[in-house]
Amino acid sequence: MKLLRYGPPGQEKPGLLDSDGAIRDLSGIVADITGDMLAPASLAKIAALDPATLPRVEGNPRLGAPVTGLRNLVCIGLNYADHAAETGAPIPKEPIVFLKSLNALSGPNDDVVMPRGSVKTDWEVELAIVIGTKAKYVAEEDALDHVAGYAVANDVSEREWQAERGGTWDKGKGFDTFGPLGPWLVTKDEVPDPQNLAMFCDVDGVRQQDGSTRTMIFGVKQIIAYVSQCITLHPGDVIMTGTPPGVGLGKKPTPVFLKAGQVMRLGIQGLGEQEQRVVGS
């Protein structure tokens, strides 16, 4: 099942994608795609509906982030062995955990706004985990029981603020619009193996990232179990799980960063694609 939210910013309605690729309106069934709606019993009720009985949404509406009302937007850094190698960083012994501001969350095709004066804004295609049930002190073998589904994410990063301005990574990761999510939330029953998903990111039509979740250092189960030891994960919370190689920072011999007017297109096998235009502040 593919759940989504559509409409102008702040006025999104809940929907689902039917087998023909059409959006069906869920607003007569649920108020929005929130944590409460992602509980297993709630998802089962939605899955039992015949999409043909739901109003068809005509046209090509804007898509918002496929979940709202989350409490935590958690990210994992340097979680792909080949990405760590390209940046010259050692393989982490434990997951590197940081947070994005909730203001960073945006629709999958919304503009990405570069911070004023930025010359080091970068792209990062990532698998996002969406939590379905509260997770605290979770064991790895139980971790997937807490997952509602998965989505495509772009962990947009401003490298100067991330690494050269002192303090933690959060500053360079949390600018407004730096967390495009979607186009939809794909429920976990449609993703039998989250550790075997091809992923890519193009900039202006040129392939920059071409990777797979197979090269994660810490897999989905490990990440959920680890994060739940220090952050209580609530239904609707999102974890971005790291990026494969090919980011601008890792380009040799000289790093390459985004400029206003460029277009990022990124996607993950079975989870859809998103596209953002980079604009100035």
pLDDT above 80 (res 26): yes
CA-based nearest residue to 194, from 143, 247, 245, 135: 143
Residue pLDDT, tens place only, 88-137: 888 899 999 999 999 999 999 999 999 999 999 999 999 999 999 999 99
Query: Under a CB-based contact definition with an 8 Å cutoff, are residues 5 and 32 in contact?
Result: yes
* Percent of the chain residues past pLDDT 70, beyond the cut: 100
Measured CA to CA, the distance from residue 112 to residue 175 in angstroms comes to 10
Least confident of 9-23, 68-82, 158-172, 226-240: 158-172
Kindly report the average pLDDT of the chain as a whole number.
Answer: 96
Contacts of 270 (CB under 8 A, 6+ apart): 186, 190, 191, 197
Residue pLDDT, tens place only, 166-195: 878 899 999 999 999 999 999 999 999 999
**80: DSSP letter:** B
Residue pLDDT, tens place only, 263-277: 999 999 999 999 999
Query: Under a CB-based contact definition with an 8 Å cutoff, are residues 264 and 275 in contact?
Result: yes
Q: What is the pLDDT of residue 179?
A: 98
What is the mean predicted confidence (pLDDT) over 159-170?
A: 89
Q: What is the pLDDT of residue 163?
A: 87
pLDDT above 90 (res 47): yes
Q: What is the pLDDT of residue 167?
A: 78
pLDDT band at residue 211 under the 50/70/90 scheme:
very high
Report helix, strand or coil for 263.
strand
